[in-house]
Structure 1
Amino acid sequence: MAMALNRTGRDIVYSCEWPLYARQESHVNYTEVAEYCNSWRNFGDIDDSWGSVKTIVDFTAALQEQLVPAAGPGAWNDPDMLVIGNFGLSYDQQVTQMALWAIMAAPLLMSNDLREISKESTALLQNQEVIAINQDPLGIQGYRLLKVNNFDLWEKPLASGALAISVTNQQEIGGPRYFLLVRAIVWEGLACDTCYVTQLLPTR
């Protein structure tokens, strides 16, 4: 099918479902998948629930050594749809999914009813700075750098030389918690004497 589509001479995004089912039977070489498909599902269907989002993110992190090298311009690991604007996630959870899908360079496919979506969810889905991270020209899929004390730290190198960073508080009880970004962990290798940090979510 990939060869037939390429012979048309037209720009076509070819999304494959078979790696999802092949993975259930045996090991999948995602770098080889990227030779034939532009996008491929690597996990089961997402549900409109925070538990489902967390499961997919944890699965992606567990397989990141296989998934990250396969991603690039025209090649995307697909953790399934955004459930932002539906009914299963709180607003904070919607912000978290948007941030993580942007970091993972995941296809941003919406699953909501546009007649019912809230203004807050609409603004989140239309956040141009976050979309720019998702669609950065380097096409690098972000990866989980650190997991400690119920925090996940993800990073994604950008074409500008900057890093996009996502910090997720996985603890579901209690109030807000502080997370210290240690320079030696996060900014090692950046060619700058002074780093500027811009927070994009939940507010700029």
Structure 2
Amino acid sequence: MRLSPPKIFYMLQQGSPLLGLHACCYPFTGYPEFGYFLNKTGRPMVYSCSWPFYQIYSRMEPNFTAIINTCNLWRNFDDIQDSWESVQRIIDYYGDNQDAIVANAGPGHWNDPDMLIVGNFGLSYEQSKSQMAMWAIFAAPLLMSVDLRTIRPEYKAILQNQAVIAVNQDALGLQGKRIYKDKGIEIWARPISPCLAFTTPMPSPSSTAGRTAHLQRQISVTLRELGLANPEGYSIRDLFDGVHYGTVMPDKRFKVDVNPSGVVLVRCEVAKHALAVGSLHLRSQPTDRTFRNPFHNNNLFNHFGG
């Protein structure tokens, strides 16, 4: 493909607010060249690319300084398929490689785990909530792939959930991390605004081995284990069901029931000021049992008082 201003202007005339350059094995110099022509148009536009994916595929270290200066969002893993297995692989990749991924995300530049497949054919209702919750924790672009003319109401409600969208669109633009994984349970956390921001996700049972894979599971954890230790306690609200759990103190056990391959996404507000968000996501492949607070050195977290 030869890049030229006439071709760029033609694409812009189609009225799309987003343009993507996902050129298989195209020379890497093409991405900044394409971005240069986009900027020349003077029109605001979101620029999506696959630059880091093809560098990783070529066994190269992605040049994220150049990528961030060029693109607004980028793919770094395989294309999503219309299946729960595909969603799980993406979540696993983002968790297993988070130290290399999370630091590159921020306002105006985001990791893109690919489209939402909510409302299509491959996900159950619970799995659809799981994808929506995790994409909110990832601070990922919410690009739908469903036919809006035929989407069922319950899936439409997931995509239009304003409380979950607010987490995704949080002004800090910080991507969340996995802080716990053991025996089919994963807990992810994401800092959010305004002041006193933190996220404590709680995911669900997915492919846990044995009969428990298809059973609802109860998760019990203290907020202190999740890094939330404000002595005033936290007001906790479920963002999908709207359930308010009242004020929970840091050392009191917080319990939730999670459906198979489902998720519980909660927002925690310090009793008088702060905010925190979370999603509990139970998964398989047990690892260490230790809770790790990835944000303990985060200036935001320290400033907001945890």
Normalised by the size of structure 1, how large is the TM-score?
0.92
Q: Is the 8 A contact 2:205 2:216 kept in 1?
A: no
Q: CA deviation at 1:62?
A: 1.4
- The 1:47/1:38 distance shift into structure 2, 3 A limit, reads same
Q: Work out whether 1:136 is the aligned partner of 2:170.
A: yes
Q: CA deviation at 1:164?
A: 2.9
Q: Any unmatched runs of 5+ in structure 1?
A: none
Q: Which stretch shows the higher mean deviation, 92-101 or 111-120?
A: 111-120
C-alpha separation in 2, matches of 1:8 and 1:83: 32
Kindly provide the CA deviation profile for residues 25-50 of structure 1, in whole angstroms up to 9, marking residues without a partner as x.
12224354212110001111101100
Q: Any unmatched runs of 5+ in structure 2?
A: 1-33, 208-212, 243-306
Q: Is the 8 A contact 1:30 1:67 kept in 2?
A: no
Q: Which residue does the alignment assign to 1:200?
A: 239
Q: Is the 8 A contact 1:29 1:66 kept in 2?
A: no
- The 1:192/1:9 distance shift into structure 2, 3 A limit, reads farther
Q: Which residue does the alignment assign to 2:50?
A: 17
Q: How does 1:161-172 map to 2 (within 5 A)?
A: 161-172=196-207
- The 1:3/1:181 distance shift into structure 2, 3 A limit, reads farther
Q: Is the 8 A contact 2:102 2:176 kept in 1?
A: yes
Corresponding residue SS for 2:201: strand
Q: CA deviation at 1:14?
A: 0.9
C-alpha separation in 2, matches of 1:24 and 1:8: 32
Q: Is the 8 A contact 2:47 2:73 kept in 1?
A: yes
Q: CA deviation at 1:192?
A: 5.7
Q: Is the 8 A contact 2:77 2:113 kept in 1?
A: yes
Corresponding residue SS for 1:197: strand
Q: Is the 8 A contact 1:133 1:164 kept in 2?
A: no
C-alpha separation in 2, matches of 1:183 and 1:123: 29
Q: Is the 8 A contact 1:129 1:200 kept in 2?
A: yes
- In angstroms, what is the RMSD of aligned CA positions? 1.6
Letter in 1 for 2:88: K
1:150 corresponds to which of 175, 184, 190: 184
1:181 corresponds to which of 217, 221, 224: 221
Q: Which residue does the alignment assign to 2:117?
A: 83
1:27 corresponds to which of 61, 80, 85: 61
C-alpha separation in 2, matches of 1:69 and 1:131: 22
Letter in 2 for 1:22: Q
C-alpha separation in 1, matches of 2:108 and 2:132: 21
- The 1:152/1:134 distance shift into structure 2, 3 A limit, reads same
Kindly provide the CA deviation profile for residues 8-63 of structure 1, in whole angstroms up to 9, marking residues without a partner as x.
44322111122211111122243542121100011111011000000001001112
Q: Is the 8 A contact 2:205 2:217 kept in 1?
A: no
C-alpha separation in 1, matches of 2:166 and 2:151: 22
Q: Is the 8 A contact 2:48 2:72 kept in 1?
A: yes
Q: Which has the larger radius of gyration?
A: 2
Kindly provide the CA deviation profile for residues 116-160 of structure 1, in whole angstroms up to 9, marking residues without a partner as x.
210000011000110010010000011111111211100110112
1:123 corresponds to which of 157, 166, 170: 157
- The 1:24/1:131 distance shift into structure 2, 3 A limit, reads same
Task: Name the structure with the higher strand share.
Answer: 2
Kindly provide the CA deviation profile for residues 84-125 of structure 1, in whole angstroms up to 9, marking residues without a partner as x.
000111100000000000010010000111122100000110
Normalised by the size of structure 2, how large is the TM-score?
0.63
C-alpha separation in 2, matches of 1:131 and 1:20: 26
2:72 corresponds to which of 5, 14, 38: 38
Q: Which residue does the alignment assign to 1:62?
A: 96
Q: Is the 8 A contact 1:153 1:167 kept in 2?
A: yes
Q: Give structure 1 regions of 4+ aligned residues with deviation exceeding 6 angstroms.
A: none
Corresponding residue SS for 2:101: helix
2:139 corresponds to which of 96, 99, 105: 105
